[in-house]
Structure 1
């Protein structure tokens, strides 16, 4: 079992893959500014979601947190997937 990391000090899940923040369904992403959406997913700068502000592993926040996509809402802090992306950034050593 893994410890539950502080998401506001991490951000790894929002920086792991440009394919990951995909919008699901007709109303997913409602309220997100159009400039942050591209081809049915959140726009990314490289692998990092464009709505993520701050420094990975230090201090981050989502600029659209209240309207974030379903896939982001369903991601579970402390899950195996969480720790896998944290390990990718050397945060789970």
Structure 2
């Protein structure tokens, strides 16, 4: 599976919806203790269940939603963040919730062809 979104498929850095969907997502679930330790504590929720959610978005998200965003912990981001791909059900759900278009999203199969 690809680690990043190739712009010719879809440029995730112009979106950010998955990082601003809701306070209880993303949750930690598949990470090892070493992987969790690599995420700076200032970005981890107080109960250590997932990423900290501040001001309607993941605390590690930088930039402006729908324009240009980035991840402050990209190299050590949680597995759920690595698994979210443009056009997949989670991506579409987050974009719809924030009022972003879903018509221009690739079909998830674009990632594996």
- TM-score of the superposition, structure 1-length normalised? 0.84
Tell me how far apart the structure 2 counterparts of residues 90 and 23 of structure 1 sit (CA, whole Å).
26
Work out which of the two has the higher radius of gyration on C-alpha atoms and give 1 or 2. 2
The residue that corresponds to 1:10 in the other structure is: 15
Point out where structure 2 has 5 or more consecutive residues left out of the alignment: 1-8, 103-113
The residue that corresponds to 1:49 in the other structure is: 58
Point out where structure 1 has 5 or more consecutive residues left out of the alignment: none
Q: Going by fraction, where is strand more abundant, 1 or 2?
A: 1
Summarize the alignment of residues 52-67 of structure 1 with structure 2, pairs less than 5 Å apart: 52-67=61-76
**Following TM superposition, by how much is the alpha carbon of 1:46 offset from its aligned partner in structure 2, in angstroms?**
4.1
Return the match for 2:43 from 36, 54, 75.
Answer: 36
When the two chains are superposed, the root-mean-square deviation of aligned CA atoms in Å is: 1.7
